[in-house]
Amino acid sequence: MHRLARALKCGRATPRERPRTHDGSKRLRHTDVSARPTAELKIPVPYGHLAAKEWLPVPQEDPERRMICLHGHQDNAGSFDFLLPKLDARWHAVALDYTGHGLSSHLPKGCAYTANHFVTDMVRTVRFLGWERFCLVGHSMGGALAQLYANLFPDQVKKVVMIDSLAPTCRPPSMVLKTFRTTMLESMRIEDKDPLSQPSYTEEQLVQLYTKTSSWGYLPDDAKTMLKRGSVSIGDGRFVLTKDPRLRAISWTKIDRAEVLEYIKAYKNDLLVLNALPGIGVCSVWHQKVLDMCQENCRKFEYLQLEGNHHIHMNQADLVAKHVGRFLEDIQ
């Protein structure tokens, strides 16, 4: 696959002590197939923990090379298992499982999942790590949340990379009430179901569930990687999904387009937007307004269209790593 020819360009934290898990034990460390050292983190929250996969820097910590990776809706930290080994090993990366995703705790019954809650997950993660400055790399929902976080805390974020993502989804005012009613009732319906009625699958059925029912382009290898954190064995060759089923009825923050254009003014550092074609699809007029605003406000802004599906960072990791690595390595 080749890059489509479109590009727009404009334009210390001290090393921390190795954090421990919430029960006081040291993080579990192992080495993955790429020989890059990784570890599993447990970040304490009032309802349990946030899980994260940490990619440790080689040969040593460099405060200028720190990044937090943010996955898409109903995905998990495994979303970055293909991309991160292809970036410079000096980068210290933490890929987060948002609440209700992957290996992270679910919200208690009666609590609703919102975009604002996921931003709170990010705040807790940053405080746990003790990082003062870092880069954000987000895919899909994670890209939109990276952009939101960067505008809330612009002094913390050096660079933002958004993969097949650009600003929050804005629904017409006429749809707000209907959407709110639908998601609220669906969340309550799921919550009232017997947890023991959760369906189980064979490994082959799970892979098919991801590849056949998703309209956003999981390939079989993508699905198998996501399922390492996204499923758990219950014996007899069967598995259940780890994500909270209530995520299907998430209550998205309702903001209009004027508000989006206003809030993205706060972040003025470097921004790279990689959009896949056909990818998730965008509204061309609205898309261009957001791009124009980013170009006007960011110190350095790049926009690239890459031929591929929504999960291009997984199934074309070499292509994405080439652009992300170049952008991140331009350290100023």
pLDDT tens per residue, range 261-307: 888 888 999 999 999 987 666 667 778 888 999 999 999 999 999 99
Q: What pLDDT score was predicted for residue 178?
A: 84
* Residue 148 phi, psi dihedral angles, 5° rounding: -65, -45
pTM of the full structure: 0.86
Burial class from Cβ neighbours inside 10 Å (0-12, 13-18, 19+) for residue 268 reads middle
Q: What pLDDT score was predicted for residue 48?
A: 98
- pLDDT-derived band at 20 (thresholds 50, 70, 90) equals very low
Catalytic residue from among 79, 104, 105, 140: 140
Question: Pick the residue with more confidence: 228 or 115?
Answer: 228
Q: Are 313 and 139 in contact (CB under 8 A)?
A: yes
- Assess if residue 20 is contained within a domain: yes
% residues pLDDT > 90 (the chain):
61
Domain that holds residue 260: 3-167+250-329
Q: What pLDDT score was predicted for residue 227?
A: 97
- Assess if residue 222 is contained within a domain: no
Q: Are 312 and 319 in contact (CB under 8 A)?
A: yes
- pLDDT-derived band at 253 (thresholds 50, 70, 90) equals low
Number of domains the chain contains:
1
Burial track 235-259 (b if 16+ CB lie within 10 A, e otherwise): eeeebebbbbbbbebbbbebbeeee
Q: Hunting for tokens 């650009």 — which residue is that?
A: 166
- Assess if residue 210 is contained within a domain: no
Q: Are 76 and 102 in contact (CB under 8 A)?
A: yes
- Assess if residue 200 is contained within a domain: no
- Assess if residue 204 is contained within a domain: no
Question: Pick the residue with more confidence: 117 or 171?
Answer: 117
The model's pLDDT over 164-220, given as tens digits with 9 standing for 90+, comes to: 998 776 677 777 788 888 888 988 898 888 776 789 999 999 999 989 876 666 899
Q: For CA atoms 132, 135, 140, 144, give the dihedral sign.
A: positive
Q: What pLDDT score was predicted for residue 301?
A: 95
CATH at 128? 3.40.50.1820
For residue 140, indicate whether it is catalytic.
yes
Q: What are the Cα distances from residue 180, in Å, to 25, 113, 132, 252, 254?
A: 42, 13, 36, 9, 9
- Assess if residue 242 is contained within a domain: no
Q: How many helices (H) and strands (E) does the chain have?
A: 9, 12
- Assess if residue 205 is contained within a domain: no
